[in-house]
Amino acid sequence: MYNKTFKFRSTQGTPLIYKRGQQAVFEGKVYTCLQDTNKTPFQQPYRWNFYGLTEPFYSDTAPLKPYPNQVWISSAGIEYTYLNDGNSGQWVQL
């Protein structure tokens, strides 16, 4: 089941628990839940499995753990691509 963007609470304010097999998008990446949790893939990475990228990722700030060729569009509308040459990675405006 796909839950769209990761949220800590429902629209009614109830804490959300992600069940095994559910999917959620967090920082432009789709994750599948491996064990029931209410934590993000960064807080409990062993409970989530990376599934794939969404395109593009819109946010004021870049993703904390980007994947090569991930696209990020800043709140100013500037598009960046994450490039990694094997030694280091950086966001590049193409």
- State the pTM of this model: 0.73
- pLDDT tens sequence across 17-40: 999 999 999 988 899 999 999 999
Every domain of the chain and the residues it spans: 1-54, 55-94
* C-alpha to C-alpha distances, 39 to 28, 35, 48, nearest whole angstrom: 17, 11, 10
- Which fold would CATH assign to domain 1-54? Seminal Fluid Protein  PDC-109 (Domain B) (2.10.10)
SS3 94: coil
**What is the structure's pLDDT at 43?**
94
